Amino acid sequence: MSDKKPVRTLEMQVDIDAPIEEAWKALTTGPGLANWFAPVGEVSGPGAGATVKSGWSPEMMMSVTVGAWEPLKHVSWIDESGWTGPGTSMACDYYLSTEQGKTRIRFVQSAFGASEAWDDLFDGMEVGWTYFLFNLRAYLELHAGRTRRMISERLEVTAGRQKFWRHLLSALVGSAGSVKAGDKVQVKLSDAPTPGIVEVAIERHALGVRLPELANALLFVELEGKSDQFHVGYWFSVYDDDKAHQVDAPARKAFRGLHEPQPKA
């Protein structure tokens, strides 16, 4: 793929108050990936040419090949499956450095080959990577050495996007209007709301909330795509076994309850 030029790129970065060695492990090992990216993570071995498998369920798995491998500096994932069209491919590059005592990870996603889907796809990926990079920072700063337990649901929406977004904010976090990063909310996962802090808020697309009283568990809600026909993914990362067991059933009930019934379009 070295002779190809990207037709679309996405670049983001995050500074993390954690050793660069721990960040490298989070990016290059199966257990590391499973604690901030997809909950299923497997890496066949170190070095270029290794296979990385990750997914959210057996039906939602992906497999990529490790391209670049420079320990503590640079690792890349290459996807040449052509799933967006013949001759297309994608690359994810992670560049690590130490900046002012913190670990900086610069993330670059590149698309190769002609595809009409790139623009819409990258718009959605920017939402997802905004959260993933936050989750990576939260994992390394708050949960290092712990194992994540994922509580998740993915449900279809029949209401319009704006209508459902307002319904979500009202019913889940008690907001009658918009929310922004730093806002304090009450997350309704059971009869007794749990205090939370908004960490990610992308209007009509995504909401990420940290729950300090649940060992800084992280709830991410994504309204997929752009259209008014979409699914909502609820991804609840809990880094304490007892608390995960405690909130599993009520959280799933709360997520499903947001869809029964849904607001009229």
- Domain coordinates in residue numbering, the chain: 8-142, 149-257
pLDDT tens digits, one per residue of 162-179: 999 999 999 999 998 899
| Predicted pLDDT of residue 227 | 83
The arrangement of secondary structure in 149-257, i.e. its CATH architecture, is 2-Layer Sandwich (3.30)
Could you please state the CATH topology (level 3) that the domain comprising 8-142 is classified under. Alpha-D-Glucose-1,6-Bisphosphate; Chain A, domain 4 (3.30.530)
Q: Is residue 14 very low, low, confident or very high in pLDDT (cuts 50, 70, 90)?
A: very high
pLDDT tens digits, one per residue of 175-189: 988 999 999 999 999
Peptide bond into 263 cis (omega under 30): no
Q: Which residues pair with 194 in a beta bridge?
A: 187
Q: What is the DSSP string of 201-249?
A: EETTTEEEEEEGGGTTEEEEEEE-SSSSSEEEEEEEEE--HHHHHHHHH
pLDDT tens digits, one per residue of 102-124: 999 999 999 999 888 888 888 88
In this model, does residue 265 exceed pLDDT 70? Answer: no
In this model, does residue 60 exceed pLDDT 90? Answer: no
Please give the Cα distance from 119 to 222 (Å, whole number).
18
What HEC string does 52-64 produce?
EEEEEECCEEEEE
Arithmetic mean of pLDDT over the chain: 93
In this model, does residue 258 exceed pLDDT 90? Answer: yes
